[in-house]
Every structure is written in structure tokens, then in C-alpha cells.
Amino acid sequence: MRHRSSDPTDLNTSSTDGRTDNAGAAEDAREAATERSDEIDLAADALVRLEEQLRTTTADLDSLIARYQTDLVRAAATERARVATAWLPIVDSLEQALRHAEDDATTFDAIRVVLQKAVAALADLGFPRFDPYGQDFDPLLHEAVGTVRNVADHGTVVNVTRPGYGTSEDLLRPAGVVVAKR
């Protein structure tokens, strides 16, 4: 606590502890600066923690987005395969109807057009039709339903009983084939 003289020109006013006002003001300023410095240090530390928290949260969000995109791609592929699988019996039935309608040209043409559209729909879903006749047997793409002797080179597909759908990376159904053997 300071005691001021009533004389405004008196620069040597003293405080109750014996300090002059100038010395006391300087010490008060140092204390205030130290307190401000401490506050600034605390604020800087808080800022560093918040920046680290922001980086961590941003990384977590980026990771979540990447997982979500992967899950979305996987879900779309699963749904695409489900729809394509539902189409297969329809395509098979149309092929069978086509074989039975060979005597009636109008019916044959109508069924053929519908079959072509159904096969195109499967291709649009990412499962194109393939017919491996004359190719080497590939157990990843073909299902051997029989063998025959001395018809062609060993391991060659000599008859396709059911066409396959898909690609080597994404197979919906293997082709049913008869394979030549020695």
C-alpha cells in the first residue's frame, strides 16, 4: 500500500513498506510482466495441445472417411453381385426357352432379343458372359462337368454346357465345360 504526499510535485512519495513510488511501480510492472509471461506460456501450451488434438482428430476423420469409402465400395460390389446372381436363373431360362422355340421363328426372335438384353444387363453389372470353347481348361474360370477322350489336345475345352459370367478378378459363375483328355 502506497502513501502519497499531498504535494503533486513531490516525486519521492513513499509506500508503507518504505519503497519510493518509482521503485514500487517498477517492481509492480515486473510482477505484472511475469504474470503476463506466465499467462502467455499457459496460453501457448494450451495452443500446442489444441493443435495436436486438431491434428489427431483430422487424422482420425481421414481414416474414418477412407474406411467408409472402402465399405461403400465393398457394399456396392456385394449388391451388384446379388442382383447379377438373381438374373442368372432368368438368363438360363431364356436360353432354355430359345432352344425349345427353334421351330417358331417369331417366338425365337422375341426370346433372343430378351436374352440379349438380359446378358447385356449382366455385362453392365460387371459380369460379362464368356464362352471358353477351344481354350485351355482353367479351374478358376471353368467347372469341368465331363471329359472326353482323343477329341482334341489334352486339357482343351471341347464343349460348353453352361456359359460363364464375370472376369478372372470378379467371377459370378464359372462356365460348365467338357474337357478333352488323353
Q: Is the dihedral of CA 162, 163, 165, 166 positive or negative?
A: positive
CB 151 within 8 A of CB 158: yes
Q: What is the SS3 assignment for 178?
A: strand
Is residue 3 within 8 A of residue 15, CB to CB? The reply is: yes
0.85 surpassed by pTM: no
Each residue's pLDDT tens digit in the chain (182 positions)?
A: 444 455 555 544 444 555 556 777 777 778 777 888 888 888 899 999 999 999 999 999 999 999 999 999 999 999 999 999 999 999 999 999 999 998 899 999 999 999 999 999 999 999 999 999 999 999 999 999 999 997 789 999 999 999 999 999 999 999 999 999 98
